[in-house]
């Protein structure tokens, strides 16, 4: 009996340290606009790269309460992201849907004091209703390709997947201009990058969890399903560990080359094992907040040609759906292991009325760093491969994901 009791106690402690957060997948903002027949009209009034780039910087420059001497950070597109999870802030709990984004490090949600149309269409945080809220008073700002987000900072109790972190720094947005936020299905963003990416002072969410010792290990992992819809989650974020039932074969560990983004060295990119990009190696970031796979403009345009994709006047690259089965494989070499995507993995099939359209899962974006231009391995890549983010040993792990 004593032995059974000890086993139950160990099981209970271990279970509480592994936190599962179900993920939901929705149509991207670009897909919404296309389905509504207004994508081309929308892009006339907004810079096309609003879907491609996110700029983050302190706002307004020179404000004494903000961190000074910080240059802007460029991150790739969470505004077109598709996967989000549920969190709550405050006591009693106030619920929000957030993009779980390894390409940024801040947590923010709309404020009840927000004056923008976007906030009126989303759940808003009511600080005056939370008994555990602590006002900070400092401002923060994040600049986007077609506008910017302004807010104030605070601290409160955060709950995610049954786990509770106290005194979590976060932002309350009070101004969200532009139509993109209006169309977004999520309320805010929860960043899972390193503290050097953060604009909101204090510990990012996972750093706070590690400091409060509420996760079993300094590790979190993502599983993104290819199947959308239905009653079951479309993916899972596991805080504190790895779920061996969600992938096949061993995990390949790749050391980080920089601690801001989850940045790693990529050995090469090849098409059908012949045409190679960055043959002497280049840098890549593993980013759950990005829908597509992105690379430098010149490389991306050549890659589109090699897979038979043709550009449209709205920035999309179309593929003939009847040719998908004959398109070449694209392989990313990482840590000495080849990660191959077939056309079924990198072609996005969408219905427009009764017509099926096939879109390329690759996109051009130029992000220049001291280590060279970055590639971004977004959800098109991560749906194929289970991803592990290890803060303790500063590495990323990849294995072939199981799919239904």
pLDDT tens-digit profile of 62-102? 333 233 222 222 233 344 556 889 999 999 999 999 989 99
Instruction: Please state, in angstroms and rounded to a whole number, the distance separating the CA atoms of residues 212 and 200.
Output: 19
- Looking at residues 337-360, what average pLDDT do you find? 90
- Would you tell me which CATH number, out of the four given (3.30.70.20, 2.40.70.10, 3.60.15.10, 1.10.238.10), belongs to the domain 20-211? 2.40.70.10
Greatest C-alpha distance within the chain: 72
Look up residue 152 and give its two tokens.
């104030």
Instruction: Please state, in angstroms and rounded to a whole number, the distance separating the CA atoms of residues 296 and 375.
Output: 7
177-190 burial, b for 16+ CB within 10 Å, e for fewer? Answer: bbbbbbbbbbbbbb
Say which residues have a Cβ less than 8 Å from residue 276's Cβ, sequence separation at least 6. 268, 269, 270
**Structure confidence at residue 3 (pLDDT):** 41
Between the alpha carbon of residue 211 and those of residues 102, 163, 203, 262, the distances in Å are: 19, 14, 9, 20
Report the percentage of the chain scoring pLDDT > 90: 55
Residue intervals of the chain classified under CATH 2.40.70.10 are 20-211, 245-401
Per-residue pLDDT of 155-213, as tens digits, reads 999 999 889 999 999 999 999 877 777 777 889 999 999 999 888 778 999 999 999 99
**Structure confidence at residue 284 (pLDDT):** 97
Q: Give the pTM.
A: 0.85
pLDDT bin (cut points 50, 70, 90) of residue 353 is confident
Residue 101: active-site member: yes
Q: Which of 101, 106, 156, 234 is catalytic?
A: 101
- Per the prediction, the chain carries an average pLDDT of 81
Residue 287: active-site member: yes
Look up residue 354 and give its two tokens.
């009764």
Cβ(116)–Cβ(177) under 8 Å? yes
Cβ(283)–Cβ(269) under 8 Å? no
**Structure confidence at residue 261 (pLDDT):** 93
Instruction: Please state, in angstroms and rounded to a whole number, the distance separating the CA atoms of residues 377 and 389.
Output: 14
Cβ(158)–Cβ(205) under 8 Å? yes
If residue 252 lies in a helix (H) or strand (E), which one and from where to where? strand 247-259
Backbone angles phi, psi at 208, to 5 degrees: -65, -40
Q: Which of 80, 136, 187, 287 is catalytic?
A: 287
**Is the N-terminal amide bond of 92 cis, ω within 30° of 0?**
yes
- Residue 72's nearest CA partner among 48, 86, 54 is 54
Query: 245-401 maps to which CATH number?
Result: 2.40.70.10
Strand order in the sheet with 317-319: 310-311, 317-319, 355-360, 347-352
- Looking at residues 5-20, what average pLDDT do you find? 48
**Structure confidence at residue 33 (pLDDT):** 58
Say which residues have a Cβ less than 8 Å from residue 105's Cβ, sequence separation at least 6. 191, 192, 193, 194, 195, 196, 197, 198, 204
pLDDT bin (cut points 50, 70, 90) of residue 46 is very low
pLDDT of 40 over the 80 cut: no
């Amino acid at each position: 009996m004593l032995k059974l009791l000890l086993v139950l106690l160990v099981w209970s402690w271990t279970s509480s340290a592994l936190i599962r957060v179900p993920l939901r997948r929705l149509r991207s903002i670009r897909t919404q606009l296309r389905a509504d027949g207004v994508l081309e009209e929308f892009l006339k009034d907004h810079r096309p790269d609003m879907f491609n780039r996110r700029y983050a910087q302190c706002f307004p420059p020179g404000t004494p309460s903000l961190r000074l001497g910080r240059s802007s950070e460029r991150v790739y597109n969470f505004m077109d992201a598709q996967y989000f999870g549920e969190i709550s802030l405050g006591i009693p709990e106030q619920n929000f849907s957030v993009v779980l984004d390894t390409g940024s490090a801040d947590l923010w949600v709309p404020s009840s004091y927000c004056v923008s149309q976007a906030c009126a269409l989303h759940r808003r945080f009511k600080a005056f209703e939370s008994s555990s809220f602590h006002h900070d008073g400092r401002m923060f700002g994040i600049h986007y390709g077609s506008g910017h987000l302004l807010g104030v900072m605070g601290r409160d109790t955060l709950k995610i997947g049954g786990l509770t972190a106290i005194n979590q720094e976060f932002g309350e947005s009070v101004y969200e201009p532009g139509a993109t936020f209006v169309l977004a299905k999520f309320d805010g963003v929860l960043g899972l990058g390193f503290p050097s990416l953060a604009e909101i002072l204090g510990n990012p969410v996972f750093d706070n969890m590690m400091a409060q010792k509420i996760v079993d290990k300094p590790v979190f992992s993502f599983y993104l399903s290819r199947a959308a819809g239905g009653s079951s989650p479309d993916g899972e974020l596991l805080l504190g560990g790895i779920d061996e039932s969600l992938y096949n074969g061993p995990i390949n560990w790749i050391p980080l080359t920089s601690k801001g983004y989850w940045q790693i060295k990529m050995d090469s990119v090849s098409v059908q094992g012949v045409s190679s990009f960055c043959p002497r190696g280049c840098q890549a970031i593993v980013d759950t907040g990005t829908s597509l796979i992105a690379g430098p403009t010149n490389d991306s345009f050549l890659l589109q040609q090699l897979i038979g994709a043709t550009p449209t006047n709205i920035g999309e690259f179309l593929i003939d759906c009847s040719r998908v089965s004959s398109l070449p494989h694209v392989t990313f070499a990482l840590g000495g292991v080849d990660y191959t995507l077939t056309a079924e993995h990198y072609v996005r099939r969408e219905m427009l009325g009764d017509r099926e359209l096939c879109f390329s899962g690759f996109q051009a974006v130029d992000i220049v760093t001291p280590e060279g231009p970055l590639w971004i391995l977004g959800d098109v890549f991560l749906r194929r491969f289970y991803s592990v983010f290890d803060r303790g040993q500063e590495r990323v792990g990849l294995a072939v994901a199981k799919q239904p």
